[in-house]
């Protein structure tokens, strides 16, 4: 019989629910974390759970979770502020009666996460309620992804225990890479919410219009450019794998390879990200996991299957 995640029943329930949230919605994080010792694995789940709950408030306000206060409040902005205040109140008290938040607070206190990370995160979530477009890549990266993506990499560092402070920048790059992959895969879903997370400057330069939801030559050229930008971020992040102890290195290498595989699927679909969500097959994830376990985490990012066929830009 497996031992509980924590001797305190309330915390055990909270950690179990964080793990379930991750398994249901963040399968790449879940699979990668399976390679960590249990004490680190549950901390990955709490980071994901907190971010997921906040993200659902702005993206899927109809979804109600008992960990989020203000169930009768319909305004996402009000609910987000209530959730953030609840989080800070629990951090200040060092506890919570609600199991998920109790686990989150227990975890971040044990690993000593800088609270400033969460301030940046909540500020980015607020932007989702007021901004629907971003003019340039720099605007998107520095104005939004700093708090929604790079900061997630920073939150993971106390969990993964890097061997050197130099791991911070690769961790931030990996957060950016994961987020941009989401943006490229989820163009259709984001349009349904009235948002475009593609730089307007790039869309205009290629003459591409996502609102038509059509794959045109202009759309292909614009998306190919974004995919290459995304792969550059993965290459920037890859050296950070070697800066982690072996369990953390295997975890991050697995997540990196699984997520970067989505870019291959985008290319294989001829950049059609309007017809449905592109998903890495479970058997592919198992193969990646097995390869990392057998051959080690490595350092590089696997090249695109189409790389040798794609014409080189002049």
Tens-place pLDDT, residues 118-161: 999 999 999 999 999 999 999 999 999 999 999 999 999 999 99
CA distance 27 to 232: 23
Q: What is the mean pLDDT of residues 16-36?
A: 91
**Cβ atoms of residues 287 and 205 within 8 Å:** no
Q: Are 135 and 196 in contact (CB under 8 A)?
A: no
- The pLDDT of residue 302: 60
Q: Which residue has the tokens 């309007």?
A: 274
Looking at the structure, tell me whether residues 18 and 69 fall in a common domain. Answer: yes
Report the number of secondary-structure helices (H) and strands (E) in the chain: 14, 0
Task: Supply the pLDDT for residue 75.
Answer: 85
Domain assignment of residue 303, yes or no: no
As for how many domains the chain has, the answer is 2
Q: Report whether pLDDT(271) > 50.
A: yes
φ, ψ of residue 93 in degrees (nearest 5)? -80, -20
pLDDT of residue 1: 34
Q: Does residue 106 sit in the same domain as residue 136?
A: no
Instruction: Band the pLDDT of 27: cuts 50, 70, 90.
Output: confident
Distance CA 157, CA 40 (A): 11
Q: Hey, how many other C-beta atoms are within 10 angstroms of the C-beta on 114?
A: 14
CA pseudo-torsion sign 226, 228, 230, 232: negative
Average pLDDT over residues 183-203: 97
Tokens linked to 77: 């902005």
Quote the CA–CA distance of 132 and 48 in Å, as a whole number.
24
- Using an 8 Å Cβ cutoff, are 166 and 243 in contact? yes
Where does the pLDDT of residue 68 fall: very low under 50, low under 70, confident under 90, or very high at 90 and above?
A: low
Residues 290 and 225 grouped into a single domain: yes
In a domain, 2, yes or no: no
Pair 139, 109 in one domain: no
Same domain, 202 and 138: yes
Q: What is the pLDDT of residues 164-191, one digit of tens each?
A: 999 999 999 999 999 999 999 999 999 9
- Predicted local distance difference test score (pLDDT) of residue 298: 76
Q: For residue 28, what pLDDT is reported?
A: 86
List, in order, residues 6 or more apart from 42 with CB less than 8 Å away: 5, 6, 15, 18, 19, 103, 107
- Give the mean model confidence (pLDDT) for residues 106-111: 93
269 SS3 class? coil
- pLDDT of residue 210 exceeding 80, the answer is yes
Read off the pLDDT band of 309 (50, 70, 90): very low
Interatomic CA distance for residues 283 and 192, integer angstroms: 30
Say yes or no: 150 and 245 in one domain: yes
Q: What is the pLDDT of residue 308?
A: 40
- Put simply, whether the predicted model's pTM sits higher than 0.75 gets the answer yes
Specify whether 107 is located in the same domain as 207.
no
The verdict on 89 and 31 lying in the same domain is: yes
Q: Which domain holds residue 164?
A: 131-298
Task: Look at residue 121 and tell me if it is in a domain.
Answer: no
Asked if residue 124 belongs to a domain, the reply is no
What average pLDDT does the structure give for the chain? 90
Quote the pLDDT of residue 310: 42
> Is 226 among the domain residues?
yes
- Tokens representing 260 are 């970067």
CATH number at residue 288: 1.10.600.10
CA 307 to chain centre: 25
DSSP 135-155: SSHHHHIIIIIIIIIIHHHHH
Q: How far is residue 113 from each of residues 155, 211, 283, measured CA to CA in Å?
A: 6, 40, 35
> In angstroms, rounded to a whole number, what is the distance separating the alpha carbons of residues 301 and 239?
10
Q: Are residues 82 and 211 located together in one domain of the fold? A: no
Of the pLDDT bands very low, low, confident and very high (cuts 50, 70, 90), residue 246 is: very high
The last residue of one of the domains, among 86, 113, 140, is: 113
How is 107-144 classified by DSSP, letter by letter? HHHHHT--THHHHHHHHHHHHTTT----SSHHHHIIII
Looking at the fold, whether 173 and 246 belong to one and the same domain comes out as yes
Answer yes or no: is pLDDT of 3 > 60: no
Nearest Cα to 111, choosing from 279, 248, 266? 248
Q: Identify whether residues 173 and 49 lie together within a single domain.
A: no
């Amino acid at each position: 019989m497996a031992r509980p995640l924590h001797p305190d029943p309330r915390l055990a329930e909270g950690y179990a629910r964080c793990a379930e949230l991750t398994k249901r919605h963040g399968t790449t994080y879940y699979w990668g974390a399976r390679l960590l010792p249990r004490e680190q694995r549950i901390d990955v789940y709490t980071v994901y759970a907190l971010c997921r709950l906040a993200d659902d408030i702005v993206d899927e306000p109809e979804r109600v979770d008992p960990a989020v206060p203000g169930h009768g409040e319909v305004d996402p902005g009000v609910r987000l502020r209530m959730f953030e205040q609840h989080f800070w109140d629990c951090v200040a008290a060092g506890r919570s009666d609600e199991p998920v938040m109790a686990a989150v607070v227990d975890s971040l206190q044990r690993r000593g996460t800088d609270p400033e990370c969460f301030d940046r995160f909540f500020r980015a979530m607020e932007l989702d309620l007021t901004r629907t477009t971003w003019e340039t890549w720099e605007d998107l990266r520095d104005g939004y992804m700093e708090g929604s993506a790079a900061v997630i990499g920073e939150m993971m560092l106390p969990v993964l225990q890097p061997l050197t402070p130099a791991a911070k920048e690769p961790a931030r790059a990996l957060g950016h890479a994961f987020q941009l992959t989401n943006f490229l895969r989820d163009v259709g879903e984001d349009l349904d919410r009235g948002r475009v997370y593609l730089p307007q400057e790039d869309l205009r330069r290629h003459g591409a219009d996502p609102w038509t939801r059509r794959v045109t030559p202009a759309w292909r050229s614009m998306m190919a450019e974004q995919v290459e930008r995304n792969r550059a971020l993965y290459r920037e992040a890859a050296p950070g794998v070697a800066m982690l102890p072996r369990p953390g290195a295997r975890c991050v290498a697995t997540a990196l390879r699984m997520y970067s595989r989505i870019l291959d699927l985008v290319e294989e679909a001829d950049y059609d990200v309007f017809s449905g969500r592109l998903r890495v097959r479970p058997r592919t994830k198992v193969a990646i996991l097995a390869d990392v376990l057998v051959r080690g985490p490595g350092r590089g990012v696997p090249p695109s299957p189409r790389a040798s066929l794609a014409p080189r830009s002049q």
